[in-house]
């Protein structure tokens, strides 16, 4: 566990701390991505990790590096192959599955990947998380200079990786450390849950109650399918930013307060609120965070 001992008195102190955390993360990220190009012949990169790990920012950095190699990066989100569903913000009945391979249109993904590997034109689907359905397609014509980045939680699953006819490199990103501050301890999964509640509210129209409703199923799938398969990955990245609890507190607490008093998730919301409350700190402001920060994936 990483123990934080901060004695800040000014906003300038807080800003320096944010900058130092960002510099460390980007340095580590660039060093990890260097290994993608070790053999010089990589055609496919899979980018996976549990929910709210920072896959999108990593994909953007990888895209830039591929351009620097004189090639063209094509990011393919496995989320766009989700099956349609009608359970957004419904916290009664069975917990919906968003994370296992059963949530995907595997038939179309296999057809898509087969045509891609053969250099044939293909329709790339687009999934809308607000509508919880596929909303359209874009035609894509492969080019010999293209490097394909398959990004998503399920990119680590053998049901997905077996579809790739060529050799590929695999990147796994996650929160790898717990954080302690004062009497509060945020476990690795707590940090990702906090990120998810804020992200899903801002970008997917989900309530905090619904995010908590999904969480147990998310964790079961992670322990059963994601982390065991991650042992086979080539590259590992830790996305924890030490400053983030001090920023996310003011975004998270109002959302936790919206969970109804009679909800079965009210106690869980209260427990999470008590864990994050010590991090409320007026010295930290959103505008201290760079626009290209991995943390922007969660707070906007």
pLDDT of 165 reads: 67
Closest CA to 153 of 225, 94, 220, 208: 225
DSSP 75-113: EEEGGGGBPP---TT--SSSPP-SSSGGGB-HHHHHHHH
pLDDT of 38 reads: 74
Higher-pLDDT residue of 164 and 238 is 238
What value does the mean pLDDT take over residues 122-126?
96
pLDDT digits (tens, 9 = 90+) for 10-48: 999 999 999 999 999 999 998 888 887 776 678 899 999
CA pair distance 102, 82, nearest whole angstrom: 9
What's the CA dihedral at 273, 24, 292, 7 to 10 degrees?
Answer: 40
Strands 133-140 and 122-128: antiparallel
By CB atoms closer than 10 A (0-12, 13-18, 19+), residue 259 is buried
Residue 95 has pLDDT above 90, yes or no: no
- Structure-token pair, residue 119: 């250099």
Confidence of residue 131 (pLDDT cuts 50, 70, 90): confident
Please, what is the average pLDDT of the chain?
92
Residue 96 has pLDDT above 90, yes or no: no
> Can you name the CATH fold of 2-299?
Rossmann fold (3.40.50)
Higher-pLDDT residue of 71 and 290 is 290
What does the domain layout of the chain look like in residue ranges? Answer: 2-299
What value does the mean pLDDT take over residues 239-245?
97
DSSP 23-76: HHHHHHHHHHHHGGGSSS---EEEEE-STTS-HHHHHHHHHHHHHHTT-EEEEE
CA pair distance 158, 43, nearest whole angstrom: 18
pLDDT of 5 reads: 87
Residue 243 has pLDDT above 90, yes or no: yes
Cross-sheet strand order for the sheet of 184-186: 2-3, 179-181, 184-186
pLDDT of 88 reads: 64
pLDDT of 87 reads: 64
Residue 172: DSSP 8-state? E
Residue 56 has pLDDT above 70, yes or no: yes
H/E stretch holding 116 reads helix 106-117
pTM across the whole model = 0.88
pLDDT digits (tens, 9 = 90+) for 266-276: 999 999 999 99
pLDDT digits (tens, 9 = 90+) for 59-89: 998 899 888 888 899 999 999 999 998 766 7
CA pair distance 89, 128, nearest whole angstrom: 15
What value does the mean pLDDT take over residues 193-208?
96
CA pair distance 77, 207, nearest whole angstrom: 24
Confidence of residue 191 (pLDDT cuts 50, 70, 90): very high
CA pair distance 196, 298, nearest whole angstrom: 7
Taken in order 25, 167, 116, 107, the sign of the CA dihedral is negative
pLDDT of 120 reads: 95
pLDDT of 71 reads: 87
């Amino acid at each position: 566990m990483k123990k934080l001992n901060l004695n800040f008195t000014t906003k300038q102190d807080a800003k320096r701390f944010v900058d130092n955390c960002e510099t460390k993360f980007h340095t580590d990220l660039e060093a990890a991505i260097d290994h993608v190009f070790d053999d010089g012949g990589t055609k496919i990169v899979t980018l996976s990790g549990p929910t709210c790990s920072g896959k999108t920012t990593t994909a953007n950095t990888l895209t830039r590096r591929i351009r620097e190699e004189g090639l063209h990066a094509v990011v393919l989100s496995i989320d766009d192959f989700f099956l349609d569903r009608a359970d957004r913000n419904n916290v009664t009945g069975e917990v919906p599955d968003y994370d296992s391979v059963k949530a995907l249109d595997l038939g179309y993904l296999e057809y898509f990947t087969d045509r891609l590997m053969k250099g044939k034109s293909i329709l790339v689907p687009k999934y809308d998380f607000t509508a919880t359905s596929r909303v359209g397609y874009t035609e894509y014509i492969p080019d010999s200079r293209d490097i394909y980045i398959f990004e998503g939680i399920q990119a680590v699953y053998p049901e997905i990786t077996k579809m790739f006819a060529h050799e590929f490199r695999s990147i796994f990103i996650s929160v790898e450390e717990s954080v302690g501050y004062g009497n509060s301890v945020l476990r690795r999964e707590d940090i990702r849950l906090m990120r998810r509640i804020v992200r899903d509210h801002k970008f997917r129209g989900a309530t905090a109650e619904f995010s908590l409703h999904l969480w147990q199923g998310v964790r079961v799938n992670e322990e059963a399918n994601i982390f065991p398969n991650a042992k086979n990955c080539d590259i590992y990245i830790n996305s924890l930013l030490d400053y983030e609890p001090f920023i996310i507190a003011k975004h998270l607490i109002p959302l936790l307060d919206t969970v109804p008093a009679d909800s079965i998730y009210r106690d869980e919301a209260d427990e999470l609120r008590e864990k994050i409350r010590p991090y409320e700190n007026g010295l930290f402001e959103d505008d201290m965070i760079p626009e290209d920060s991995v943390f922007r994936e969660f707070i906007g």
